Structure formats: C-alpha cells, structure tokens
C-alpha cells in the first residue's frame, strides 16, 4: 500500500483493536474481526480490493507466526516437562497449525478468491457471478503482489511473532504475581500451547471453557498447581474483558455514527 494511501497509525491501531475485540469476545469463528477490519479500512478511503488483500495476507501471517510460536512452545515443553505422551500431544496439536498455515499459503498463491468465485458461479446468476469473478481476480492480483514482496512479508511476520511473544511476558508476570517459581521456558510453553488449543476451539464463542481448560491442562504438565492455573486463567479472562469490551463499544459507536467521519481524516504522508 502506498504511504499516501495508508491510514494513519492511530486509525490502524483502532481498527486492529476493534478486530481483535470482535474475534476475542464474539462468536465469529476468529474471522469476523478480520472482515470488520477490512470494512473499516475500505471505509477510511482504501480501495476495497486493497483492503481485502491486506487483511487476507495479515490473516495468513497470523496463522504462520502462531505455528512458529507453537513450535517454540513444543521445544520449551520438551525442555521443561520431557515425556513421550505429553510431547506427542503437543506436537500433534502444533502440526495441525503448521498444516493449516501451509494450506492457506498455497491457496492464496493459487488464487483463493478466484476459486471461491468459481464456486459462487454455480449457485448465482451469470451477471452476479461475473461481477464477483472480476472483483476476485483483482483481489487475487493484490494478494499475489503482497506475497511477492519478501521484505514486507518478513517484516509482517516479525511483527506478528513479536505480538505473540508479548503474551509470554504476560504469563510470566501473572505466574510471578501468584508466587510461583517461573522461567522463560515455562511461560513460553504455557502461553503458546494454550493459544494453539484456543485456536482449535474457534467455533466456541470466546473459547469459553476451552481456554481455561487448556491453561489448567498445560499447567499441570509444567508442574503448576490446578488452583494456581485456574487463577491464571481467570486473570487472563479479566484482562480480555477489560481490553476488548471497550473495543466492542468503540466498534458499535463507529457503526452508529458513521465510519468515514471517524477514520478517514488521518493519512500517513
């Protein structure tokens, strides 16, 4: 995206906040927030196809970086709690993420949206499907252009992975606040594998129950008492509500008052 067409940092931050809030608290299968981000970006003045392509590639980078994060967690688990059964389960869960990341990358390179328009052609009229096909072809070209820019892709992957790693700091702080002895390996294994399980439970609104169960189960593997792991899970859930609850309110406000007036004025030069 050309710098002059890119929304300013403040607007992008609000869009990311809203998208994460939707994905975290609403039953949208972990993708509704990305759709909302694309809509907000388009409403702020970015071309619709460009906005859709940017969000699609960012979604791919999120999956790839999470797979890398999960692999780091498996390594940390092997160091902290070596055991064939526990390690096999962790590797199996992480393998699903890796395969999903590879599949999504392959589909985007081969023209994912064009394939969807081909399916739509079978159930829609010729005129509607032709419009969809033209839009899908342009979207695929935008995606291919971004994927071909290796420096931007590496930078995006790095920022995404850095975002995942900040969760390790959160786990470390909370474990220390609970008076538990902790180290980098324990915090990394607990956080990365919990997020892998949460992602697998994407059909559960907010992963309610799944996230708490994952923290307790992984915590037990790492020697964290069940009651302490549950306290950690509740603290993380409270943080999500405190951060993402206002994000949903801001989203409702922007929809009610009109997105363009709130997000369009700021541009990066």
pLDDT digits (tens, 9 = 90+) for 97-133: 677 767 766 666 665 555 555 545 555 555 555 555 5
Residue 20 lies in a domain: yes
pLDDT digits (tens, 9 = 90+) for 156-208: 999 999 999 999 999 999 999 988 888 898 999 999 888 888 877 777 777 78
Residue that wins the pLDDT comparison between 208 and 34: 34
Residue 183 lies in a domain: yes
CB 126 within 8 A of CB 33: no
pLDDT beyond 50 at 269:
no
Q: How many domains does the chain have?
A: 1
Crossing angle of helices 126-147/48-80, nearest 10°? 50
Assessment of whether the complete model's pTM goes beyond 0.85: no
> Residue 208: what pLDDT?
82
pLDDT beyond 90 at 245:
yes
Distance separating alpha carbons of residues 162 and 167, to the nearest angstrom: 9
Q: Any idea which residue has 């920022």 for tokens?
A: 159
Alpha carbon dihedral 180, 183, 184, 190, in 10-degree steps, equals -40
Residue 269 lies in a domain: no
**How far is CA 190 from each of CA 71, 181, 185, 215, 223, rounded to the nearest angstrom?**
12, 14, 8, 7, 11
Residue 268 lies in a domain: no
Residue 45 lies in a domain: yes
Determine the average pLDDT of the residues in 18-27.
Answer: 90
Residue 74 lies in a domain: yes
**How far is CA 195 from each of CA 6, 44, 89, 110, 233, rounded to the nearest angstrom?**
31, 32, 15, 29, 12
> Residue 27: what pLDDT?
81
Structural domain of residue 148, as residue ranges? 3-263
Distance separating alpha carbons of residues 237 and 219, to the nearest angstrom: 16
Residue 8 lies in a domain: yes
Determine the average pLDDT of the residues in 22-38.
Answer: 86
Residue that wins the pLDDT comparison between 141 and 1: 141
Distance separating alpha carbons of residues 252 and 246, to the nearest angstrom: 10
At residue 229 the predicted structure's pLDDT band, cuts being 50, 70 and 90, is very high
Q: What is the CA radius of gyration of the chain?
A: 20
Task: Identify the DSSP state of 4.
Answer: G
Q: What is the DSSP string of 130-173?
A: HHHHHHHHHHHHHHHHHHT-HHHHHHHHHHHHHHHHHHHHHHHH
pLDDT digits (tens, 9 = 90+) for 73-92: 888 888 887 654 555 555 66
Mean pLDDT, the chain, rounded, equals 80
> Residue 74: what pLDDT?
84
pLDDT beyond 90 at 242:
yes
Q: How many Cα atoms sit within 13 Å of 114 on the Cβ side?
A: 14
> Residue 233: what pLDDT?
93
Alpha carbon dihedral 126, 110, 48, 7, in 10-degree steps, equals 180
Residue 83: strand, helix, or coil: coil
In the structure encoding, which two tokens stand for residue 154, read together? 């590496």
């Amino acid at each position: 995206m050309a710098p002059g067409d890119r929304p300013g940092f403040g607007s992008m931050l609000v869009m990311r906040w809203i998208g994460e809030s939707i994905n975290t608290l609403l039953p949208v299968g972990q993708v509704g927030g990305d759709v909302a981000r694309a809509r907000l970006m388009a409403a702020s003045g970015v071309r619709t196809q460009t906005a859709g392509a940017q969000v699609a590639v960012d979604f791919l980078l999120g999956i790839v970086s999470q797979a890398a994060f999960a692999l780091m967690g498996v390594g940390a688990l092997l160091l902290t709690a070596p055991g064939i059964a526990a390690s096999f389960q962790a590797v199996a869960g992480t393998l699903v993420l890796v395969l999903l990341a590879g599949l999504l990358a392959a589909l985007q390179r081969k023209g994912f949206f064009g394939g969807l328009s081909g399916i739509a052609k079978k159930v829609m009229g010729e005129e509607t499907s032709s419009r969809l096909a033209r839009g899908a072809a342009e979207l695929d070209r935008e995606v291919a252009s971004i994927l071909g820019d290796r420096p931007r892709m590496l930078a995006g992957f790095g920022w995404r992975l850095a975002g995942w790693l900040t969760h390790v700091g959160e786990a470390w702080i909370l474990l220390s606040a609970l008076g538990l002895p902790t180290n980098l390996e324990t915090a990394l294994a607990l956080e990365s594998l919990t997020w892998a399980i949460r992602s697998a439970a994407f059909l559960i609104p907010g992963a309610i129950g799944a996230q708490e169960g994952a923290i307790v189960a992984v915590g037990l593997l790492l020697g964290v008492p069940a009651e302490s792991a549950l306290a950690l899970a509740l603290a993380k859930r409270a943080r999500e509500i405190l951060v993402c609850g206002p994000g949903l309110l801001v989203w409702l406000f922007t929809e009610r008052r009109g997105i363009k007036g709130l997000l369009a004025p700021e541009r990066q030069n």
